[in-house]
Amino acid sequence: MKTLKIAIQKSGRLNEKSVELLKNCGLNFENYKSSLISPVSNFPLEILFLRDDDIPEYVQDGIADLGIVGENVIEETEVEVSYLQRLGFGKCSLKIAIPNNSDIQSLAGLNGKAIATTYPVILKKFLDSKKIDSDIRTISGSVEISPGLGLSDAICDLVSTGGTLKSNGLKAFADVMSSEAVLIGRKGSENDDLIKELIQRIQSVLRAKE
Ligand code: PRT
Ligand code: ZN
């Protein structure tokens, strides 16, 4: 019998909820922080623990059959995968934010301005759709300190409580996308019997939570 592989985040904001969801589906597995792969003893499934950024490509390329990852990561990596199920956790929004004392007043005011982000692909599409031409500065983290350092006029970053923006003297200015954790698979994988069985279990866990 074939064994499916599901990729989930190894550590970070989605790890705990992903593990909890799979356990609530009745799947038995060890969750050692040191292991990268964990077999499920009562379902033909192996769990791969990965950096979230790698999950969409692993699924697209067939290294994993399924993945749990934020929609923001999928959109940014521009992969071809099927969205199988929204999971209701990891909710956040990708927003453009500006310093509290900024003189930018409208989206058009972002023309010619520097925007720091770790999401250049999504930001570019958004700005193009609004016919705005900004200088997108791709950085790998700590985006929120970049205006204070004089490195950018605005940022584009994920926001959940808004606390990070506030404590850095920034205010939300425009919504780019909203995101939550989703179950993804390869195109067409929704027709696979084992995958169907797993989706049904996930859906009943989600229904029980409503
Ligand atoms: O190590 P790995 O690469 O796997 O993890 P990571 O560091 O890239 O991602 P991680 O664990 O931080 O986030 C994983 C996913 O959680 C993201 O891709 C989103 O889909 C989702 N998520 C939900 C968030 C947030 N909420 C969130 N608030 N991801 C990041 N943040 C950050 C944000 O970037 C900012 O720095 O939290 C800060 C803002 O939070 P608030 O509450 O102050 O607004
Ligand atoms: Zn990441």
DSSP-derived letter for residue 113 is -
Q: What is the pLDDT of residue 146?
A: 98
Pocket test for ligand 1, best of 10, 15, 53, 92 (most atoms within 8 A of CB): 92
User: What CA–CA distances, in Å, run from 17 to 22, 30, 71, 74, 151?
Assistant: 9, 15, 15, 18, 35
From 1.10.10.60, 1.10.150.530, 3.40.190.10, 3.40.50.2300, which CATH number describes the 92-178 domain? Answer: 3.40.190.10
Residue 21 has a pLDDT of 98
Residue nearest to atom 34 of ligand 1 (CA): 158
Architecture of domain 4-90+180-209: 3-Layer(aba) Sandwich (3.40)
Q: What is the pLDDT of residues 125-166, one digit of tens each?
A: 999 999 999 999 999 999 999 999 999 999 999 999 999 999
What is the model's pLDDT at position 124? 98
Give the pLDDT of residue 34.
Answer: 79
pTM of the model: 0.96
Cα gap 174→69, rounded to integer Å = 24
Domain residue ranges of the chain, discontinuous segments joined by +:
4-90+180-209, 92-178
Give distance in angstroms: CA of 12 to centre of ligand 1. Answer: 8
Q: Whose CA is nearest to atom 18 of ligand 1?
A: 70
Low-confidence ranges of the chain (pLDDT < 70): none
Whether ipTM tops 0.95, in short, is yes
Q: Give the Å distance between the CA of 141 and the centre of ligand 2.
A: 10
pLDDT at residue 167 in the model: 97
92-178 and 4-90+180-209 share a CATH fold: yes
**Nearest atom, ligand 1, residue 13 CA:** 11
